Amino acid sequence: MTLLKTYKKDFSSKNKPPVVSVVGISKKFPGSIALDGVDFTILEGEVHALLGENGAGKTTLVKILYGIYVPDRGEIYVRGRKAQINSPKEAIRQGIVMVSQVPQLIDKLTVAENLILGLEKYGFITRVGKVRYFIREKSREVGIEVDPDTEVWKLSYTQKQLVELLRALLLNAKVLLLDEAITFLPLIEKKKFYKFIRDFANKSGSVILITHKIYEALEVADRITVLRLGRVVGTVPRSKVSPDVVRKMMFAERSSQVTYERLPMSTPRESAALEISDLWVMGDHGDHAVRGVSLTLRAGEVMGIAGIAGNGQKELIQAIVGLRRVEKGRIRLYSEDITNRSVSKVRIRGVGYIPDQPAKYGLSLENSIEENLAMLPSLTNRLINWGSIRDLARKLIKEFNIMTPSPKTPVKFLSGGNIMKVLVSRELLVARRLLVAYNPTRALDEVTAIMVRKIIKEKASTEGIGVLVASEDLDEILQISDRIAVMNSGRVVRVFSSSEAVRDEIEKLMVM
Amino acid sequence: MDAASYILSVAPAFMAYYLTSLGQGFFEKSGVLNLSIDGVFVLGIAVAYAASIYSCSPWVGLAAAVLTAVVFGMLLTYVTTKFPVSHGAAGLSIMFLGYGLAGLVGVAARNTYNEMVVSGIYPQFTLPVTPIAKVLMFAIPVGLGILLYLLEVRTKLGAAVRAVGEDPHAATSLGIDVLRVRLIAAALGYSLIGAGSAGFLTWVATWSEGTGINHGWIAYAVSLAAGRHPLLTVGTAGAFAILATYMYTLQAAYNLSPEIAKMIPFIVAIGAMVTFMSTPLRKKLAPPQSLGRRFFKEERTV
C-alpha cells in the first residue's frame, strides 16, 4: 500500500490545471455508506478512469458531480471555485454532463425534442424544429449519423448512446462523466467510443470513465482512481501500473481469485438438454433475426454463443424461454416440445433465465430480494412460505456476497452490480435442468464475474444441467464453454469444441 | 327546430366539456394524476357565480374561476411533486375541499343575490343565445385546442411536459426542472378547467348547492376517451355534449331509466379506450408512463 500512496502523489500531468475537485465527500443511503470522505481531482484534458468492485461508490460519486445526489458532507470545486451542484441543470451550467449505462432519454420523444430540453439558450416557446439544423450540423461534425425527427424508441442501444454523446457536445460539455456508458456496447462500437473519448480529451475536455474492465481503463485512461467500500484506495498514472497492481487495489487479497484460464471441461451426459431445429424467429424490426438455427446442447454441457450484439443471440434466447414467438422450427427440452409455450410453463420445468439489462427485464426493482425470490413460480406455491424464502435469501446474500442492508431492502437501493448478483443467484437456483443467459456477468466486477462463471460451470458438471450462454465478451465465452457456436446475421456459422477454439478465428467469423 | 339549431344548442355543453377536458389532458401529460378535477370544477362554477354577482360582470366571474382553479391545480402539483405523496390521496382530498368550499362561496353569494333582489338593485345577466354567440362557443375552444396541440407537439415546453410525464428522472437528467415544468402545465391546464367551469354556467344558467357535481368526471372521461389528444377531444367532447344536452330526449325516446342514462358517458369512455388500445393508435394515445407515480428526486436507482 505504501507503493500506492507514492503513486497517489505522483501526478504525471502536473502542468494541467484541475477542472473539478471533490474534497471530503460523504454520502449515506438507507443502511449503507456509499462514500466516506472521498477526495478526487480531474484535470483538464485527461481521461480519468474510476475503478472499483460492485458497490464501491463509483456511480454515487459521479451522480453527485452531476447533481442527482446531494452529498451529506464535503465540497465540490469547479475550476477552483466552490460550487453547489444540486441538480443536473446546474451541473450542465458548469459544463458537466453525464452519460449512463442506461440511456437517460425519453423514448416517446424525438431525438430533437430530447436534445432541446437541456439547451438553456432556447426558451420554452421555441419551436423544436429550430434545433434540427443545429443537431444535423453537429452530428456531421463528430461523425454520428442520426435523424433528429426519429423517435428515440426506434433507435438501437448503440444509437441511443451516440445521441447521449451528441447531447453532451451540444451542451458544450467540458467534463464528461461516462458511467459504464461503454459497457453494453458491441466490441466494434467500443473502439469508436475510445477514439471519441481520446479526441474529446485532446481538445481539452476531461472525461471520468467508470468501468470495471481494467484493460479498458488501461487502454484509454491517463490516470486511474480506485474506490473500495466508499473510500479512495489510490490514484495512479496509467504509465506506471500493470493490471495486477490495479486489480490488487480493487480487490486486495481477493485479487488472486482472478484468472482467465479455461475452466475444466465438464462431462456432458448422453441425453440432450436442449434441441433446437431449424429455428426462425422475428426481430424487432419486422425481419427474421434468427434464420434457421439448429443446435443440440447436451445435459451437463456449457455451450457459449459468440457474436456481436444484434446478430440474433438475444432473439434466440428469448424464443427458448417463451418470450418471443417462433415462426418456424422446434425447441425441445429433454425431448419435450416447448415451442411457443408460455414463459411460466417453460420456467416451471426448471429453466433459469438471465436476461440482458437485468434491472429492466430480470427483477422488480421496487421489491425486496425476498419478494423477487417469492414471485417465481418455481420457488413458491400458491401460498408463500416466507420463512423458507427468508432463509433462501440470506443464503444467497452470503454465498454471493450481495451488499444489502437486509433481505427486505428494495432492490433499487442496491448498486448495479449487486442487483445483477441477486438475479444471477436466483436463476442459478431455479435452473434445475437448463440455464440460458445473455451476458450474465456484464455488470459484475472481475472477482464476482469469475466466481459466477465457476459456479455455472460447476453446476453444469455436477448437477448435469445444460447451459447456453450468449455473450459479447469473448474472454467469458472462451473461459466457460465446452463448445462455442459463433452467430452471425441470425445463423450459426460454426461450432467449435473448446480445444479447437482459437480467438482470432472466432473474431473473424463474428465480423465477416 | 332545424338541424343548425339542434347543433347550436349543444354549444354551451360542448364549451364546458371541451375546455375542461382539454386542460385535464394537458395537465395529466405532465404525469400528475388529476383526481381533483371534479371538486375544482364544482368550485370553479361557484366562484364564477359568486364573482359575477359581487362584481356584476360575468367576465370577472370567468377570471375568478380561472384563477381559483389554477391555485388548486398548482397546489396539487406542488404537493405531489415536491413530496413523495400519493397522487390519488392528494387529488381526492382537494376534490372534497373543492366541494366544501363551493358550498361556502356559492351559498353566501346566493344569499347576497336574494338580498339584492329584495332591495330591487341586482345584476341581470343575459345568456349568450344568439347564433353568433353559440358559434363562438364552438370556435373559441376549438381554436384554443389547436393552439394547445401546437404547443404540445411543436415547442420545447410541449416536449418538456411530455418528458416529465414519461420519465421524470430521465427528464431531470436531461436538464429539466420537473417541478417547474409541472407547475406550468398545471397553470395552463387548470386555467382551461377554470374556464370550462365558468362556461358551465352558460349552460345551466343558475346555481344551487351541488351544481356541476359529476360533470368534472364526465370531462375526465371525455379526455380519457380521446387518449388526451387535444384534437381528438373535439370529437369526444362533441359526442358527450350531445348526449348531455339531449339526455332527456333520449331517455324519453328509448325509455331509458335516468340511472342508465347517467352511466352512458362512462360506458362510452371505457369502450373508446378499449377500442383505441386495440388499434395502432395504442402507441400514440397511451397514457404517460409515469402518470400517478410518486417522484423521489434522490431515489437510488441504477
Please state the rounded mean pLDDT for residues B59-88. 96
Give the pLDDT of residue A5.
43
Give the pLDDT of residue A15.
63
Q: Select the residue of B157, B167, B170 nearest A124 (Cβ to Cβ).
A: B157
- Stretch (H or E) spanning B92: helix B87-119
List, for residues A339-365, the tens digit of each pLDDT value. 999 999 999 999 999 997 777 788 998
Q: How far apart are CA B290 and CA B81, in angstroms?
A: 12
Chunked into runs of 10 residues, chain A (512 residues) has average pLDDT values of 40 69 92 90 95 89 95 94 94 95 90 94 92 88 84 86 92 94 79 89 94 87 93 92 89 81 85 96 86 96 90 94 95 96 93 85 91 86 88 93 90 84 91 93 84 89 94 90 94 92 86 71
Q: Select the residue of A92, A109, A126 nearest B175 (Cβ to Cβ).
A: A92
Per-residue DSSP letters for B63-80?
Answer: HHHHHHHHHHHHHHHHHH
Determine which of A98, A108, A356 to mutate to test the interface with B (most B C-beta atoms within 10 Å).
A108
Which domains are delineated in chain A? 2-95+174-250 (3.40.50.300), 104-172 (no CATH), 266-350+432-512 (3.40.50.300), 358-430 (no CATH)
C-beta atoms of B162 and A106 within 8 A: yes
Q: How far apart are CA A486 and CA A368, in angstroms?
A: 37
Q: Is the ipTM of this complex over 0.85?
A: yes
Give the pLDDT of residue A193.
87
List, for residues B136-171, the tens digit of each pLDDT value. 999 999 999 999 999 999 999 999 999 999 999 999
Is the distance from CB of A408 to CB of A370 less than 8 angstroms? yes
Give the pLDDT of residue B298.
66
Give the pLDDT of residue B232.
94
Q: Which three cell numbers stand for residue A198?
A: 481520446
Give the pLDDT of residue A82.
95
C-beta atoms of A171 and B162 within 8 A: no
Residues, chain A: 512
Q: How far apart are CA A21 and CA A78, in angstroms?
A: 7
Q: Is the pLDDT of residue B280 over 90?
A: no
Q: Model's pTM, two decimal places?
A: 0.82
Give the other-Cβ count within 10 Å of B261's Cβ: 16
B positions 166-205 inside 8 Å of A (CB): 166-167, 169-177, 184
Please state the rounded mean pLDDT for residues B98-119. 95
Chain-wide mean pLDDT for chain B? 92
pLDDT category at B299 given cuts 50, 70, 90 is low
CB pairs under 8 A between A and B: 100
Q: What CATH number matches the domain at B8-285, 1.10.540, 1.10.3470, 1.10.10, 2.30.30?
A: 1.10.3470
Enumerate chain A positions whose Cβ falls within 8 A of a Cβ in B. Answer: 29, 59, 66, 68-70, 87-89, 92, 98, 100-102, 104-109, 113-114, 116-120, 122-129, 167, 171, 359, 365, 412-413, 415-416, 419
Of residues B16 and A182, more confidence is placed in: B16
Would you kindly state where each structural domain of chain B is located, as residue ranges? 8-285
Q: How far apart are CA A295 and CA A405, in angstroms?
A: 43
Question: For cell 482470432, what's the residue?
Answer: A504
Q: Is the pLDDT of residue B231 over 80?
A: yes
Give the other-Cβ count within 10 Å of A181's Cβ: 23
Determine which of B29, B151, B155, B173 to mutate to test the interface with A (most A C-beta atoms within 10 Å).
B173
Q: How far apart are CA A15 and CA A21, in angstroms?
A: 16
Give the pLDDT of residue A3.
38
